[in-house]
Structure 1
Amino acid sequence: MYQYTQVDQQIVNERVEEFRDQTRRYLAGELSADEFLALRLMNGLYIQRQAPMLRVAIPYGLTSAQQMRKLAHIARTYDQGYGHFTTRTNLQFNWPKLEEVPDILAELAEVQMHAIQTSGNCIRNTTTDHFAGVIEGEIEDPRPWCEIIRQWSTLHPEFAYLPRKFKIAVTGSQQDRAASQVHDIGLHLVKNAAGELGFEVLVGGGLGRTPVIGKVIREFLPALDLLSYLDAILRVYNLKGRRDNKYKARIKILVESLGIEAFRELVEAEWQFTRDTELKLTHAEVERVKAHFTPFAYAADAAEDTRLAQHLAEDEAFKIWYERNTRAHKVPGYRCVMVSLKPQLGAPGDITALQMEVVADLAEAYSFAEIRSTHDQNLLLADVRQADLYQVWQTLSEHNLARANINTLTDMIVCPGFDFCALANAKTLNIADAINAEFEDLDYLYDLGDIQLNMSGCINACGHHHVGHIGILGVDKKGEDWYQITLGGSAREDASLGKVLGRSVAADEVPRVLRVILNTYVELRQPEESFLECVRRVGLTPFKEKVYAADH
């Protein structure tokens, strides 16, 4: 993984001391709340419903065991003993004391971490496929390109005050596991007919009040032109994006209002000023960054060990976990291990300080001391020898991190909702608990196959409900929580927006409604047909008729 240079470290250290002084001045009454607002957002600090919330940057979801232990220490020392992983692969601390935030940032800086650009109207953390570099069929590992974007975008003076926040995702595989089509910019590594590496560039995707699937602005961008082209897009957006209405300030609104052809013309014209400048990458610079992501020294004889076969034959619980929570690795003898942060009870994405330390220990012992956080709020140990899987499973099981539910209904993406967020209209965590209680039979969930359930507590869609196979949106009705259901969404390569099933339902009705939806799927599905395929084939009407049958 990328290691800071002396310059990197100096920038982060100086930012810590700068914010320490800004915090001191605010607490002393020398800065107003409005003056402090922009300063704290630059450093990832929000004021939530119950307390401040600090969002820590985890670039493209990659942490070391040392960094994870530091996060555990901070959770235990400055918070309430846990953290929360988000869909942008960052970690949030929900209970820090304002006066102690500079100390937290100083501790993060000790292990090459920070909270810069995790909030505010700037270029946010670039995300990617959590299987990057270890899965078969990639065009190329996208992580070096994410790092190139990070270095270009961090503290970029021209883009520090954009009309709204700006998000970029990069994928290197035909399978999209980074939800790239619902980002402001989606970048797909491709090769042209001549075998040259480049990017398919999408622009104008996003969720929230106006969900939009991104549109292709360039089918092939030469790889070395990446930064100059991104710069051109950002310049056009910075100049022409609306600043009079925050709900219409995202680039998706600009692209929709102009049309993709007119927007492309503006970008191409701007690109002529940036294309042949210092923004043009060199092969030497790309190779310098790629050197931080070279393959590990995998054991040549790992595939010859027979212990995995023995454990699979002797332990049914381990076999089920292996089938659900591990994935094939491109190196023979290794597997990718999903660490489930979706327990039977508890907020999806939450992890205790002790669990962080357990994951750090496992990573150090069995996965080259690296951990990845995922778009769907889980963790990944990407490089585990098959012979070590049984020991890894036993340890994860002991610490409630081995629920064999990856890609099932209960592997939910859920925002913290009204319990924490000042923007939320409705609670989400109680609904997640109710769904877990209703669908605790894993055999039933396995029979249903892969289903992505996403839930948001408000229209801002931090839980990506628009692109869930099943989406749940919390709404407020005269002080009561109600929930709108959508079906048919997808954030993958077949990206689509879910359609509203019908009227919203009361909180205590959500599990029953889901049961009806799933029973209807079981009745209608064809052999080997997934839930999403079934919904797309038959439409919403059969599901709607069953759910609202009592109304007729």
Structure 2
Amino acid sequence: MYLYDPIDREFLTDRSNEFRHQVARRLAGELTEDQFKPLRLMNGLYLQLHAYMLRIAIPYGSLNARQARRLAWIARTYDKGYGHFTTRQNIQFNWIKLKDAPDILDALAEVDLHAIQTSGNCIRNVTADPYAGATAEEIDDPRVWSEVLRQWSTLHPEFSFLPRKFKIAITGALTDRAAVKVHDIGLILRKGRDGQIGFEVIVGGGQGRTPYVGPTIRSYLPAEHLLSYVEAILRVYNRHGRRDNIYKARIKILVAALGAEEFARQVEEEWGKIDAARANLPASELARVRAAFAQTRFETLPAVSEAFEAARAASPALQRFVRNNVKPHKQSGYAIVEVSLKAIGQTPGDATAEQLEVVADLAERYSLDDLRVTHAQNLVLPHVKLDDLPTVHAALEAAGLATANIDLASDIIACPGLDYCALANARAIPIAQDIARKFADPDRAEKVGELKIKISGCINACGHHHVAHIGILGVDKKGEEFYQLSLGGSGAEDASIGRILGPGLSADKVAPAIDALVDAYLNIRAGDERFLDTYRRVGLEPFKEAVYAQAD
């Protein structure tokens, strides 16, 4: 991962000291809440329903053991003993006291973490494939380019006050684990005809009130032009983006209004005005950043581990874990291990301080001191030797972290909802827990197969419900919590926006409705067809009939 230098650390120290002074003025009554609000948001501090929430950036989802242990310490010292991982590969602490916020920022800075640009109308945390550097699929390591964009965009004077927040995601693999097509800018690493790497550039994706799958405005951009081209995109957005209406301020609205072709034309025109010698990344700087991600510690190992195979044969639990949570690695003798934060009854995405310390220890001992956060609110140990898999599984099992459900029905994405969020219309956490209990039988869950259920407590879609195989949106109906279902969404490489199934359901009817949807799917699927593929083949009606027949 990227290693901070003295300039990085001096900047974080200065920023933390500045915020300490601002907090002191607020606590002394010298600043009103309205005056303080933009200052705290610049440092990732939100005021939620019950307390302040601090959102900490985890750039491209990468942590080392020292950082994970510091997050555990913060959870235990300043929160209620846990943190919540988000769909932007960040972590949130929901019970922060204002007086403690400067001390937390100091503690974060000591381990090269911060909360800068996790809020506000700026370029937010750049996200990436959590398998980066571990999967054989990738053309190039997307973390390198994510770090380039992070350094370029942090406090960029031209883009610190955009019309609205701005989100960028990057993948180096054809399998999209970063939901790049529903971001303001999505970047897919490609190889050109000359064999050189470049990017497919997607602009104007997003969710919320008006969801869009972003169109491709350039099928191939040579990699050396990335910064100047992104600058051109942001200039066009800064010039034309709506500032009079918060609901129409995102770049997706501008792209839809102009049309993808006209927007692309304007970007190309603006790009032509930019001095490439000034704007593009020098080769020496790219080499410096790339060197931070060089992976040289893989051992030469046999493709088959006799110790692992023997342990797997003796343990049905390990067999199930390997089927669902272990993925192929580019290096022979290694595996990628996904750690589910979705045990039955658990709040999706939550990890206790003790669990954070367990995965920190496992990352340090068995995964080359490397830990990842996924946009699906889980964790990844990206470099585990096959020989070590039984030991890792046993440690995860003891910590309540060995649930073998990655991409299955109980691996539910959910925002904090009305339990925490001041913007929410309805609770999301108890709905997720109710649904997960319907699939507590692991045999049934595996029989159903890949099924991505995502829940948002309001139209802002922090739970990505628009791009779920089964999406659930909390709505307010005359003071009561209701839930609208949608089907057929995808945030992957086959991205699509789900279609609304029908009228909203009361909270007690949501889990039974999901049960009915799954039963209908099992009755009509062809062979091992995924839920999403069955829906795309047969359409909405069979599912609509199943849900509303039982809801009546």
For the aligned pair, the TM-score class normalised by the smaller chain equals over 0.9
Q: SS state of the match for residue 276, structure 2?
A: coil
Q: SS state of the match for residue 520, structure 1?
A: helix
Please name the residue that 1:62 is paired with.
Answer: 62
Please name the residue that 1:330 is paired with.
Answer: 330
- Partners of 1:182 and 1:372 in 2: CA distance: 21
Please name the residue that 1:247 is paired with.
Answer: 247
- Partners of 2:271 and 2:304 in 1: CA distance: 53
Please name the residue that 1:502 is paired with.
Answer: 502
State the shift of 1:311 in Å.
0.5
Alignment of 1:237 with 2:237, yes or no, is yes
State the shift of 1:550 in Å.
5.4
Q: Which amino acid counterpart does residue 185 of structure 1 have in structure 2?
A: I
Q: 1:359 to 1:159 in 2, by over 3 A?
A: same
Alignment of 1:125 with 2:125, yes or no, is yes
State the shift of 1:305 in Å.
3.8
Asked whether the equivalents of residues 407 and 451 of structure 2 are also in contact (C-alpha less than 8 Å), the reply is: yes
Asked whether the equivalents of residues 147 and 289 of structure 2 are also in contact (C-alpha less than 8 Å), the reply is: yes
Alignment of 1:320 with 2:330, yes or no, is no
State the shift of 1:137 in Å.
2.2
Q: Which amino acid counterpart does residue 493 of structure 2 have in structure 1?
A: E
- 1:175-190 pair list within 5 angstroms: 175-190=175-190
State the shift of 1:303 in Å.
3.7
State the shift of 1:323 in Å.
1.1
Asked whether the equivalents of residues 407 and 451 of structure 1 are also in contact (C-alpha less than 8 Å), the reply is: yes
State the shift of 1:388 in Å.
0.5
Q: SS state of the match for residue 286, structure 2?
A: helix
- Partners of 1:305 and 1:345 in 2: CA distance: 35
- Partners of 2:301 and 2:276 in 1: CA distance: 48
Please name the residue that 2:299 is paired with.
Answer: 299
- Partners of 1:138 and 1:550 in 2: CA distance: 45
- 1:117-266 pair list within 5 angstroms: 117-266=117-266
Asked whether the equivalents of residues 128 and 170 of structure 1 are also in contact (C-alpha less than 8 Å), the reply is: yes
- Partners of 1:77 and 1:525 in 2: CA distance: 50
State the shift of 1:430 in Å.
0.9
Q: SS state of the match for residue 285, structure 1?
A: helix
State the shift of 1:296 in Å.
3.6
State the shift of 1:304 in Å.
5.6
Please name the residue that 2:98 is paired with.
Answer: 98
Asked whether the equivalents of residues 516 and 550 of structure 2 are also in contact (C-alpha less than 8 Å), the reply is: no
Please name the residue that 1:381 is paired with.
Answer: 381
Asked whether the equivalents of residues 229 and 275 of structure 1 are also in contact (C-alpha less than 8 Å), the reply is: no
State the shift of 1:551 in Å.
7.5
Please name the residue that 1:491 is paired with.
Answer: 491
State the shift of 1:434 in Å.
0.9
Please name the residue that 2:32 is paired with.
Answer: 32
The aligned length equals 552
Q: SS state of the match for residue 293, structure 1?
A: coil
State the shift of 1:316 in Å.
0.9
- Partners of 1:551 and 1:443 in 2: CA distance: 26
Q: SS state of the match for residue 247, structure 1?
A: helix
Asked whether the equivalents of residues 296 and 368 of structure 1 are also in contact (C-alpha less than 8 Å), the reply is: no
- Partners of 1:88 and 1:104 in 2: CA distance: 21
Please name the residue that 2:429 is paired with.
Answer: 429
1:208-242 CA-to-partner distances (Å, cap 9, x unmatched) read 00000101111111101000110111111112101
State the shift of 1:301 in Å.
2.7
State the shift of 1:116 in Å.
0.1
- Partners of 2:304 and 2:120 in 1: CA distance: 51
Alpha-carbon RMSD across the aligned residues, in angstroms, is 1.1
Q: 1:551 to 1:130 in 2, by over 3 A?
A: closer
1:333-380 CA-to-partner distances (Å, cap 9, x unmatched) read 101111110011121000000111111011111001110000100000
Please name the residue that 2:343 is paired with.
Answer: 343
State the shift of 1:157 in Å.
1.3
Q: Which amino acid counterpart does residue 171 of structure 2 have in structure 1?
A: T
- Partners of 1:237 and 1:77 in 2: CA distance: 42
- Partners of 1:302 and 1:388 in 2: CA distance: 13
- Partners of 1:63 and 1:302 in 2: CA distance: 28
Q: Which moved more, 1:184-193 or 1:276-285?
A: 276-285
Asked whether the equivalents of residues 66 and 360 of structure 1 are also in contact (C-alpha less than 8 Å), the reply is: yes
Please name the residue that 2:17 is paired with.
Answer: 17
Structure 1 residue runs without a partner (length 5+)? none
Q: Which moved more, 1:294-303 or 1:324-333?
A: 294-303
Please name the residue that 1:309 is paired with.
Answer: 309
Asked whether the equivalents of residues 121 and 160 of structure 1 are also in contact (C-alpha less than 8 Å), the reply is: yes
- Partners of 2:38 and 2:382 in 1: CA distance: 37
1:414-436 CA-to-partner distances (Å, cap 9, x unmatched) read 00000000000000111111112
Q: Which moved more, 1:159-168 or 1:31-40?
A: 31-40
State the shift of 1:302 in Å.
5.0
Asked whether the equivalents of residues 163 and 249 of structure 2 are also in contact (C-alpha less than 8 Å), the reply is: yes
- Partners of 1:306 and 1:551 in 2: CA distance: 52
Please name the residue that 1:461 is paired with.
Answer: 461
State the shift of 1:258 in Å.
1.1
- Partners of 2:380 and 2:204 in 1: CA distance: 29
Q: 1:302 to 1:13 in 2, by over 3 A?
A: farther
1:130-184 CA-to-partner distances (Å, cap 9, x unmatched) read 1111111211111100000000001111111111100000111111110000000
- 1:76-115 pair list within 5 angstroms: 76-115=76-115
Q: Which amino acid counterpart does residue 414 of structure 2 have in structure 1?
A: V
Asked whether the equivalents of residues 426 and 457 of structure 2 are also in contact (C-alpha less than 8 Å), the reply is: yes
Q: Name the % identity.
A: 55
- 1:401-440 pair list within 5 angstroms: 401-440=401-440
Asked whether the equivalents of residues 207 and 464 of structure 2 are also in contact (C-alpha less than 8 Å), the reply is: yes
Q: Which amino acid counterpart does residue 393 of structure 2 have in structure 1?
A: W
Structure 2 residue runs without a partner (length 5+)? none
- Partners of 1:171 and 1:298 in 2: CA distance: 23
- Partners of 1:194 and 1:98 in 2: CA distance: 55
- Partners of 1:524 and 1:397 in 2: CA distance: 36
Asked whether the equivalents of residues 57 and 116 of structure 2 are also in contact (C-alpha less than 8 Å), the reply is: yes
TM-score by length of 1: 0.99
Q: SS state of the match for residue 95, structure 1?
A: strand
Please name the residue that 1:50 is paired with.
Answer: 50
Q: 1:550 to 1:2 in 2, by over 3 A?
A: closer
Q: Which amino acid counterpart does residue 277 of structure 2 have in structure 1?
A: T
Q: Which amino acid counterpart does residue 243 of structure 1 have in structure 2?
A: R
Please name the residue that 2:396 is paired with.
Answer: 396
State the shift of 1:549 in Å.
2.1
Q: SS state of the match for residue 445, structure 1?
A: helix
TM-score by length of 2: 0.99
Asked whether the equivalents of residues 513 and 550 of structure 2 are also in contact (C-alpha less than 8 Å), the reply is: no
Q: Which amino acid counterpart does residue 17 of structure 1 have in structure 2?
A: N
Asked whether the equivalents of residues 308 and 387 of structure 1 are also in contact (C-alpha less than 8 Å), the reply is: yes
- Partners of 1:551 and 1:72 in 2: CA distance: 43
- Partners of 1:226 and 1:32 in 2: CA distance: 42
- Partners of 1:546 and 1:78 in 2: CA distance: 47
